[in-house]
């Protein structure tokens, strides 16, 4: 009898190793040939959220996979949904699933992956009913000190800023939940960009007197990149702030500011030697520095000086 019990335990261990995630687990197949056992949370044109059940069938974690890395997903149909709902690994409770998606977004932020984090947080915001939002806000405040709307807005702006050479910045979409926070974030970022110093003067100051910029400085490329970024931020404000539809004065001021930024950037680019500014042998070697564009990541809109809402030189 003792020998039989030991043999049965050994066989059970072998089966657990062969089927670590259970026979009813979905299987995510990636293009690199790897497979993940677990349960599909959400799939859309952007990618997949998949709850990966770790070896042994115990702890699990939701991971985001871009669409271009996913080959296919094997969905296992369960003929006993009542029994399936009793298993925490399947996570069929909608509110619990959404909370876990938010936590996954927080993990992705910790891993310095703002774009993947944005997708997770945005999906959570879309799926969340009003009664669950306070719970999501508590999770976000405990981790980052802000509610879901503020965190989503900050993540969206941070993800938009991660572009080649720091030049491009475009926000294509924003949820209704985050739009007020997004406007605060964009306004703070715009003011911070305009107050960056180049050649001993702020960008805001140069815009007020563009004709005075006649000699290239070694930070000219960074200045133009920041001006381009500021123009893109203004464009996002014009696109996503519904209050500007009623406030025509502010809207006109923002349009004029964007035009000033574009014109000034073009003026500096047209100066002889711009493409080599900041490199060895440039006009002012004492002020040489690499191309830099102010990042919005970590920028606190609450702490930003708001003496001028637009921040434009008028």
Q: What is the pLDDT of residue 134?
A: 93
Rounded-to-integer distance, Cα 221 and Cα 282, Å: 12
Q: H or E element: which one contains 250?
A: helix 248-269
Q: What is the pLDDT of residue 57?
A: 56
- Residue ranges of the chain with per-residue pLDDT less than 50: 1-23, 78-92, 280-288, 306-314
Task: Look at residues 106, 105, 236 and name the one whose alpha carbon lies nearest to residue 174.
Answer: 236
| Count of helix runs (H) and strand runs (E) in the chain | 10, 7
Rounded-to-integer distance, Cα 37 and Cα 74, Å: 9
Q: What is the pLDDT of residue 85?
A: 34
Q: What is the pLDDT of residue 145?
A: 93
Burial of 49 (0-12, 13-18, 19+ CB in 10 A): buried
| Residue 128 in tokens | 């969340």
Q: What is the pLDDT of residue 87?
A: 36
């Amino acid at each position: 009898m003792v020998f039989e019990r030991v043999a049965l335990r050994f066989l059970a261990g072998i089966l657990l190793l062969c089927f670590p995630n259970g026979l009813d687990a979905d299987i995510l197949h990636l293009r690199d040939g790897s497979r993940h056992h677990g349960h599909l949370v959400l799939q859309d044109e952007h990618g997949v959220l998949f709850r990966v059940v770790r070896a042994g069938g115990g702890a699990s974690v939701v991971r985001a996979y871009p669409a271009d890395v996913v080959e296919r997903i094997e969905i296992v149909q369960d003929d006993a949904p009542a029994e399936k709902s009793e298993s925490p690994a399947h996570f069929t409770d909608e509110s619990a699933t959404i909370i876990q998606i938010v936590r996954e977004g927080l993990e992705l932020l910790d891993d310095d992956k703002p774009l993947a984090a944005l997708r997770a947080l945005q999906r959570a915001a879309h799926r969340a009913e009003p009664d669950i939002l306070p719970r999501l806000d508590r999770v976000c405040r405990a981790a980052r000190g802000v509610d879901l709307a503020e965190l989503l807005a900050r993540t969206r702006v941070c993800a938009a800023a991660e572009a080649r050479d720091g030049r491009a910045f475009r926000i294509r979409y924003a949820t209704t939940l985050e739009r007020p926070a997004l406007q605060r974030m964009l306004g703070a970022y715009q003011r911070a960009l305009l107050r960056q110093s180049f050649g001993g003067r702020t960008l805001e100051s140069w815009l007020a007197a563009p004709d005075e910029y006649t000699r290239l400085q070694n930070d000219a490329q960074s200045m133009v990149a920041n001006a381009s970024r500021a123009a893109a931020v203004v464009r996002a404000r014009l696109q996503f702030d519904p209050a500007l539809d009623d406030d025509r004065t502010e809207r006109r001021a923002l349009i004029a500011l964007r035009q000033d930024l574009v014109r000034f950037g073009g003026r500096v680019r047209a100066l002889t030697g711009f493409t080599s500014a900041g490199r060895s042998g440039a006009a002012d070697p004492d002020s040489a520095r690499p191309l830099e564009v102010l990042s919005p990541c970590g920028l606190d809109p609450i702490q930003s000086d708001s003496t001028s809402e637009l921040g434009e030189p008028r």
